[in-house]
Amino acid sequence: MVSTNERKSWETFVRRPGDLREGAELPLALRDLNPGRKKYSVRHVVATVSRNPEEMPHVDTLFVRTVVGVLLPETWGITILRDLPIEVPGKPYHDFFASLKAAARDGDKT
Amino acid sequence: MFDDTRGFIEALRASGDLVEVEKEVSWDLELGAISRLACEKDGPAIWFKRIADYPDDITVLVNPMATWRRVAMAFGLAPDASIKDIYREYEKREGKLIPPVTVERGPCHEVVRRGSEVDLFDLPAPMLHEGDGGRYLGTWDLVVSRDPASQWVNWGTYRFMLYDSSHLTGFPRPTSHLGKMFQDYYVPRGEPMPIAIVIGADPLSHFAASATFHLGGDEAGLAGGLRGEPVDLVRCRTSDLLVPACAEIVIEGEVLPDRVGLEGPYGEYPGYRTGEMGNGILFRATAITHRKHPIFTVDATGYKDDSSTVTALSGALAIQKRLERHGVPVVDVYMPPEGAVHLAIVAVQYGGKEVARNILETLTSRRALISKIFMVEADIDIFDMGKVLHAFSTKCHPAHGVHVIHYEGRANTLTPCYSQGERVAQKGATVLFDCTWPGEWSREWETPVKATFDSIYSESVRRKVLERWRDYGFDK
């Protein structure tokens, strides 16, 4: 597990309401919400998410924004399982999320 | 003419077109909110002297050319020059390209950081709008790229989002000059494309980079033409690209042909965040070079931003030339800044269905950025939106005067009224409102007579009224 006892805050953007699924290992692009000069730096990860973060004392907090940048009211819990490369193999001008999913899948095979 | 951002700042200060903010501001939304409000109020340019989390020796200049006054000054004209005068001056200068000159060294290399010394977070890129995908730099930049096949060098203004210490993601539209060059040459060969992101060059070099200019055009030569003297260029430290020597900051690096990152969403020049996200390009930095005490330049993108004035000027002239080449009886073109590069007013000698069709086809054949066109007769002052609106309201037939063309693969993906699906397919339409009288109407018997002071009274009556105006009791 990459998460530590210190609860950190992350944010992610989703295209559709159902893109975040509980219980599944999800490839996500997270941006760091913690204050400082590197706030909003991006990290690619595989993580699990939960709608009830209060029941999980050691998970980080995840905020979610829609494709047009609207912040959703619900706060999620997130457990980061592993990092993915910052340079995701993929074709420019094509769907980043499909490339990230493939990177996570390929990582699982190795 | 101004050689750099610093000279332009001095002129703005002298004319009262600059506010210098000494109070510390946060790069995280505060700077963006101040700058956005200033744009919407047609306010001055802003020079932020103290940015939280950053040393005082790096400052931020916002909205350098977001009003006609500042555009006029960039061209060396009086700040109160009329829009028409600025148009005519641009028209005069843009036809005479002056090639750049290569010099051995320049101030932009006073500080050089390469490789592991590169940290893009050293630049105070602001979080401009709440809910944007990230912090954006490259809102008022000049991106240099070269096509190895033709040796064509392109300058363009393209947005870039801060990703991590050495990466940016960007969204130069696939149909943009850079996007096309990247996809046509570099991606098929699997080669990274070297680019240089220049921040804080002289104002007319930025103008040239942002200007609507033809594919294969020499924007560095255009910048020289607009300045009336060549731009000094210096070679990058990690590539052989040439950049303006007096620039404040240069980020050198390469766009990767087979790697991607998440880009957007971003509140763009139309004044909306439309949700284009995740389909951009990934850039890896190889060096950051800058002047001592660098000035980071920013356009607070959105309603009435810098691009709206630049495009109002260069885009309108480019449209006029294209229409002339295609046989349209065009007299003048205006793109009001409030139209966010989506609206063009085209004055013609005569209108009608055929002219309307010709205009629509000409302006949508490669990339269709304009989605609304008002075609008016030459007696309408197209720089006066009140007159244009009057012509539209009274002369455009609600059924026969509306002409639409549909297209796919070349629509403007930033047009807010398109659905997400239309944006993905680059599918859209352009509508032309014909605000001219039908040519077949008899001028003597059928065409309504305009009943305004200038048009319905004889010269003698007008002269008499104007001469006695104050005597009647009017102030002015």
pLDDT at B175: 82
Residue A32 has pLDDT above 80, yes or no: yes
**Res. B298 pLDDT band, cuts 50 70 90:** very high
Of B53, B164, B277, the CB nearest to A67: B277
The pLDDT of residue B106 is 97
Chain A CB contacts of B277 under 8 Å are 13, 15, 67
**What is the arithmetic mean of pLDDT over B311-318?**
89
Residue A108: the pLDDT is: 64
Amino acid B276: pLDDT: 77
List the single residue in B53, B131, B282 with the smallest CB-CB distance to A65.
Answer: B131
Residue predicted with more confidence, B413 or B69: B69
Q: Is the pLDDT of residue B217 over 90?
A: no
Among the ranges given (A71-80, B130-139, B276-285), the one the predictor scored with the smallest mean pLDDT: B276-285
Write out pLDDT tens, residues B190-212.
Answer: 999 999 999 999 999 999 999 87
Shortest alpha-carbon distance between residue A8 and chain B (Å): 18
Which tens digit of pLDDT belongs to each residue from B341-359? 999 999 999 999 999 999 9
pLDDT of A57 higher than 90: no
* Complex prediction ipTM: 0.94
Q: pLDDT value at position B5?
A: 98
B119, B193, B258, B262: best to mutate for the A interface, most A CBs within 10 A? B262
Give the pLDDT confidence of B258-293 residue by residue, as tens digits.
999 999 999 998 999 987 787 899 999 999 999 999
Residues A93-103: what's their mean pLDDT?
95
pLDDT over 70 percentage in chain B: 100
Contact yes or no for B278 and A87 at CB 8 A: no
Closest-CA residue of chain B to A31: B134
pLDDT digits 0-9 by tens, B225-267: 999 999 999 999 999 999 999 999 999 999 999 999 999 999 9
Minimum mean pLDDT range among B34-48, B297-311, B321-335:
B297-311
CB of A39 within 8 A of CB of B28? yes
User: Which range (A56-70, B56-70, B135-149, B278-292) has the least confidence?
Assistant: A56-70
Do A67 and B259 lie within an 8 Å CB cutoff? Answer: no
A63/B contact by beta carbon, under 8 A: no
pLDDT digits (tens, 9 = 90+) for B380-407: 999 999 999 999 999 999 999 999 999 9
The verdict on pTM exceeding 0.90 is yes
pLDDT at A35 > cutoff 80 = yes
Total CB pairs under 8 A between chain A and B: 107
How far CA B89 is from CA of B72, B73, B78, B86, B208, in Å, comes to 9, 12, 12, 5, 14
pLDDT at B364 over 90: yes
Q: Residue ranges per domain, chain A?
A: 9-109
**Structure confidence at residue B186 (pLDDT):** 97
A contacts of B132 (beta carbons < 8 Å): 69
Share of chain B above pLDDT 90, in %: 89
Question: How high is the pLDDT of residue A4?
Answer: 52
Average pLDDT over residues B435-462: 95
Q: Provide the 8-state DSSP code for A54.
A: G
pLDDT at A5: 59
Mean pLDDT check: name the lowest of A5-9, B120-124, B417-421. Answer: A5-9
Q: So what's the pLDDT on residue B275?
A: 76
Identify which has the larger pLDDT, B234 or A55. B234
* B32/chain A closest Cα distance in angstroms: 15
Chain A residues lying within 8 Å of B187, measured CB to CB: 91-92
Q: pLDDT value at position A109?
A: 58
Instruction: Indicate the SS3 state at residue A51.
Output: coil
| Residue A1 pLDDT > 60 | no
